[in-house]
Amino acid sequence: MRGLKGKVAVVTGGAQGLGEAIALRLSEEGCIVWLLDVQNEVVQTAENISRATGNAVFSSRVDIADETQVKDFFSRIASQHENVHILVNNAAAFLFKGVEASPEDWNKILSVNVIGTTLVTQNCIPLLKRSGSGAIVNMSSVSGFIGQSQFATYNATKFAIRGLTKCWAVDLADFGIRVNSVCPGYIRTQAFENSCIALGLDIEGENKRVSDLHILKRQGRPEEVASAVAFLASDDASFITGEDLMADGGYLAK
């Protein structure tokens, strides 16, 4: 991808799954990558990626729902880098409830998926502005387009991410900051397997069921989503903002 080498990128939810794949791809493209995650494993993930690519990859254990932790992180990164060029808002909580969802359920998922994403973006914007041509990539989902039984809590946040993407694209255009979202279909990650377990579903049976929902008849791979993110972060997408890029194997094409 054009224009990624040497750029500073922040990836939230980077300990595993999509976040890990995105960080690996950006590092392979020559970015200086910072991984944020609430999980301690983020440290080892950063070390593994740095060793694999030979490029600098840093990590920080941050709960993006905690405003103080987010502010402290960006104060620290500002002391080490003149600016940030790329922000990937990938961190998400997975909570699947329908109309019965309690206020506590809503607070739990909104605090990460919507408020946490907003906190990270707000605190990163001053560093993105300094770059003069920043890129924000938000992670939405096919679930941000459709209704699904017992998915109200999760889907609502993914609809919200798409709305934030378009509003922020308008707000930040004058600063040369582009804002887009990537909307994956079902991707075979640890998060997918954890969700199956939480819902009491057989993992392999659910894999077959959701694979058949895509016209390509398979689940996506994390690296395929990472390619979409890298494209939107790169100069190859310099005239693209406020858009949703589907990485869904044709899930919504039917």
Which pLDDT value is given to residue 63?
98
Which pLDDT value is given to residue 193?
84
Structural domains of the chain sorted by starting position, each given as residue range(s) with its CATH number in brackets: 8-185+222-247 (3.40.50.720)
Which pLDDT value is given to residue 237?
98
> What is the identity of the amino acid at 127?
L
Cα angle value 218/185/225 (rounded, 5°): 90
Which pLDDT value is given to residue 194?
81
Which pLDDT value is given to residue 135?
98
Question: Is residue 89 within 8 Å of 139, Cβ to Cβ?
Answer: yes
Backbone angles phi, psi at 28, to 5 degrees: -60, -30
CB contact set of 96 (below 8 Å; sequence gap of 6+): 150, 151, 153, 154, 195, 198, 199
Cα distances from 232 to residues 51, 107, 168, 205, 240, in angstroms, run 25, 31, 15, 34, 8
| pLDDT 10s digits, 96-115 | 999 999 999 999 999 999 99
Round to whole Å and give the CA distance between 67 and 70: 5
Q: Is the dihedral of CA 63, 88, 23, 73 positive or negative?
A: negative
Round to whole Å and give the CA distance between 250 and 254: 7
| pLDDT 10s digits, 46-104 | 999 999 999 999 999 999 999 999 999 999 999 999 999 999 999 999 999 999 999 99
| pLDDT 10s digits, 114-127 | 999 999 999 999 99
Which pLDDT value is given to residue 233?
98
Which residues are paired to 183 by β-bridges?
Answer: 246
Which pLDDT value is given to residue 192?
80
Which pLDDT value is given to residue 173?
98
Which pLDDT value is given to residue 196?
85
3-state helix, strand, coil in the chain (%, to 5): 50, 15, 35
pLDDT of 134 > 80? The answer is: yes
Which two three-digit tokens encode residue 135?
């890129």
Round to whole Å and give the CA distance between 163 and 251: 21
| Catalytic residue set | 154
Which pLDDT value is given to residue 179?
98
Which two three-digit tokens encode residue 167?
């509003």
Give the predicted TM-score (pTM) of the model: 0.95
Backbone angles phi, psi at 184, to 5 degrees: -75, 155
Backbone angles phi, psi at 99, to 5 degrees: -65, -20
Which run of H or of E encompasses 24?
helix 17-28
Which pLDDT value is given to residue 118?
98
Question: Is residue 188 within 8 Å of 220, Cβ to Cβ?
Answer: yes
Q: What is the mean pLDDT of the chain?
A: 96
User: What is the chain's alpha carbon radius of gyration, rounded to the nearest angstrom?
Assistant: 17
Neighbours of 213 (CB within 10 A): 17
| pLDDT 10s digits, 156-200 | 999 999 999 999 999 999 999 999 999 999 998 887 888 888 878
